[in-house]
Amino acid sequence: MKTIKGPAVFLAQFVDSKPPFNSLEGICQWAADLGYKGIQIPTWESFLIDLDLAASSKDYCDHLKGTINSYGLEITELSTHLQGQLVAVNPAYDSMFDAFAPKALHGNPKARTEWAIDTVKKAATASKHLGLNAHATFSGALLWHTMHPWPQRPKGLVEMGFEELAKRWLPILNHFDAQGVDVCYEIHPGEDLHDGDTFERFLAATGNHKRVNILYDPSHFVLQQLDYIAYIDHYHEFIKAFHVKDSEFNPTGKKGAFGGYNDWQDRAGRYRSLGDGQIDFKTIFSKLTQYGCDVWAVMEWECVIKSPEQGAREGAKFIADHIIEATQKTFDDFAGAATDPAQLKQILGL
């Protein structure tokens, strides 16, 4: 068993043009004051990290790490969720996902994909320079628009889709392997890796690449009505990162999992601040601890009702209260005795 690290916070949803959320020093002080011990850094925010420089300069990474450490914080992982998304984009989504790439690449899907692959590779090198062993990202999606099989999917389509997805990711995975860093895919609606079956398809398509791992976020599984507790039993050996985010699913006679194209607050499935949703975090923390998952508990705020400031204030304590100090002894050790082979035979009647 292993004690989960934390609490930590994913900074992406808190970045703002106003202090303290517009500078590295300001956001670090804010996080530390709330009781957080770690931060997950979105690499597309250049004021938090210069990814090009981090990939080329160990000195820069040492300085960056030193600055963050001076606030009593650790870097949990770097995130390339937006850039990872662009590794694989179906043309149906080209115009919408162009916003994740530099303007010079808009309207040029081939160049955008090449940029995304190169950028995620840079995050691998930067992670090594920072002494990190796990990285958070998205897989991207070529097949998501066929999620519901109508019209019927032609035979071989899914297999070809995962072959192509693996083809694009294998050079990245190999680079991560050379850096000694695991790639943790957030299993998420909208990605080709969105549940257990799709994770297994991708793993097989990469030849069971050892750097293919999971960022576990139970909130997405509630919206899919997937057993998020049993998921840990199936995939605990792959869980190398953890987002602590709550959600709820309240279907009606008018809407269910697909949501009726409604805004977030009007959907049957929606994300909530920690403790306000339906997720059994006590069991989740117990399972992850029991299986010895070496992860940071990273709060991700996405709530349709509560403010991010309140969510962050409450989230640090919520996580701290759920972290289990893994026991190093058995509760009935006091009643044990030295092993005596003769006594064992006597007990067995031998």
pLDDT tens digits, 157-191: 999 999 999 999 999 999 999 999 999 999 999 99
In this prediction, residue 321 carries a pLDDT of 98
Joined tokens for residue 42: 């979105």
Rg (CA), the chain: 22
Residues of the chain with pLDDT under 70: none
Q: For the chain, which domains are there? A: 5-348 (3.20.20.150)
> Is the peptide bond preceding residue 20 cis, with omega within 30 degrees of 0?
yes
State pLDDT tens for residues 10-61.
999 999 999 999 999 999 999 999 999 999 999 999 999 999 999 999 999 9
Rounded Cα distance between 31 and 33, Å, is: 5
**DSSP-assigned letters across all residues of 305-348:** SS-HHHHHHHHHHHHHHH-----SS-TTGGG-----HHHHHHHH
Using DSSP's 3-state secondary structure scheme, residue 183 falls into strand
- Give the 3-state DSSP-derived string for 133-149, with helices as H, strands as E and coil as C: CEEEECCCECCHHHCCC
Nearest CA-CA partner of 114 in 153, 83, 135: 83
